[in-house]
Structure 1
Amino acid sequence: MLLPLLLLSSQMLCQVLAADYEMLIDDPEIFTDCKENPPGAKGISGLFNLDELELTLDGDKIHVAGNATTVWDIEPTDRITASARLLQLDRGIWQPTVFSIASQDFCGIMYDKDQYWFKYWTRHVDDIDTMKGKCINHKGTKLIHSPFDLNMVLNNVRGTTLHGRYKIVVTLEAFDDEKSVKRPDSICVEIIGDCERL
């Protein structure tokens, strides 16, 4: 009888200690090139032509509407790895946090409904059934978005407090698996802002 009560109490305590945080982005352009770029890395303009995409910053929301066309010049057969990491500025140095996601085959999960990428981005791409055969490794692919708001909010954060200056670093790398080589061009972008508890 005591064990179930202790488990229930600890679960309730975890839920009570959970908090939501918002990230207030500085740059109205949203994406910046990585400050510590890996060799051969390009910024967002190396991945997409954003001339037809409207990104509008409004507090903790980014309004997204329009089209993005892939310009990354790699082979359609290349495997793409993707990672997103949250770093905190601490005494002038960007320190890693416990928050990160990664995929060794991004094209395999780009339209997977159970993935973060889908939840926050690709579910808003029109005609998903047709687009599933294409990925960011197909130069010239146009991703047509239904207008949506991207909330820069982390929900139910437990075990850590987020306060101060943070950045999200997204890195994409392409691999020719037949030759077992990494392509020289990669993508690295940052989103920088301040996190506050809601």
Structure 2
Amino acid sequence: MFLNLFLLSQIIILLKIIKPSFEISYEYVFEDEKVFAECMDSPPGYSNISRLFDLTFFHTEMTPEGLHATGKLISSWDIQPTDRIEGRLSVLYLDRGTWQPTVLNMITRDFCKIYLDPKQFWYTCFPKYIINREEAEEKCFTHIGTEFVFEPFMPEMYFGVGINMPPGRKRIVITLAAVDLNNVTRPNGVCFEMRGEFYKVQKGTKTE
């Protein structure tokens, strides 16, 4: 859920979303206060969000106003500080009981270089509210024990696309893999999901 999912030269966007005159704005609304769910189709050797972070001191609560979050995340991924983190993001939708892919897919070869970029649509979801930003930028997720301390906040995720999103439930699936200095991918990757729905945003209001 922090996760500045990301538009620098390092990013390869499988579908590049350009802002056309007919762009539609959406807000992604989480369906569960736990936010991070297990991947339904996790790659072999990959584990859930608990491999990436110790969530003991991070608290979320769903209220009538929306999702509230506070506390801190502590990096717990057993990789090396010199590793490069590759990331993938895919959005799926539920269609008559079957999860189907959408055209929204993203790949980044160096997640740590862009995850705090304010231009990324996920920035207002988590990274914007990190208090110890300099430490977070320096250490990213490659240093075990790094604390990401948050001010109390309400995670929000807004972005615009040139297509109509299919209605109904969605899964944002995120996978992270560490690559060592020899360009070898470590086997202990991370996979987690954020489930919810997209709502069109018009003049500050949400519509189905």
Question: TM-score scaled to structure 2, two decimals?
Answer: 0.77
**Aligned CA distance change for structure 1 residues 81 and 68 (closer, same or farther; 3 Å):** same
Unmatched 5+ residue regions in structure 1?
A: 1-13
Match of 1:7 in 2: none
Q: Does 1:131 align with 2:136?
A: yes
Matched AA of 2:192: V
Cα shift at 1:53: 0.7
What secondary structure does 1:57 align onto?
A: strand
List per-residue Cα deviations over 1:17-69 (Å, max 9, x = no partner).
Answer: 54444444333322111011101111111111111111122368321211100
Q: 2:45 aligns with which of 40, 45, 58?
A: 40
Number of the residue aligned with 1:162: 166
1:57 aligns with 2:62: yes
Q: Distance in 1 between matches of 2:75 and 2:184?
A: 22
Offset of 1:174 from its aligned partner?
0.6
Does residue 89 (structure 1) correspond to residue 94 (structure 2)? The answer is yes
Letter in 1 for 2:170: Y
Q: Relative to 1, partners in 2 of residues 1:123 and 1:26: Cα closer, same or farther, differing over 3 Å?
A: closer
Residue 106 of structure 1 corresponds to which residue in structure 2?
111
Contact 2:38–2:193, Cα closer than 8 Å, also in 1: yes
Of 64-73 and 155-164, the range deviating more from structure 2: 155-164
* 1:72 aligned onto 2:66: no
Does structure 2 retain, via aligned residues, the 8 Å contact 1:24–1:59?
no
Structure 2 partner of 1:179: 182
CA distance in 1, matches of 2:197, 2:61: 18
- Following the alignment from structure 1 to structure 2, what is the Cα–Cα distance between the partners of residues 24 and 161? 14
SS of the equivalent of 2:123 reads: helix
CA distance in 2, matches of 1:132, 1:21: 28
Distance, in Å, in 2 between the alignment partners of 1:60 and 1:161 is 24
Structure 2, unmatched stretches of 5+, are 1-19, 201-206
Structure number with greater Rg is: 1
TM-superposed CA distance for 1:145, in Å, is: 0.7
As a proportion of its length, which structure holds more helix?
A: 1
- Is the contact made by 1:61 and 1:151 (CA closer than 8 Å) also made in structure 2? no
> What is the aligned length?
182
State the distance in 2 between where 1:185 and 1:150 align.
28
> Could you tell me whether the CA contact under 8 Å between 1:28 and 1:57 is conserved in 2?
yes
Quote how far apart the aligned CAs of 1:147 are. 1.4
Identity %: 35
Counterpart AA for 2:186: R
TM-score (norm: length of structure 1)? 0.81
Measured after TM superposition, the shift of residue 196 of structure 1 is: 4.1
Q: CA RMSD in A?
A: 2.2
Partner amino acid, structure 1, of 2:36: F
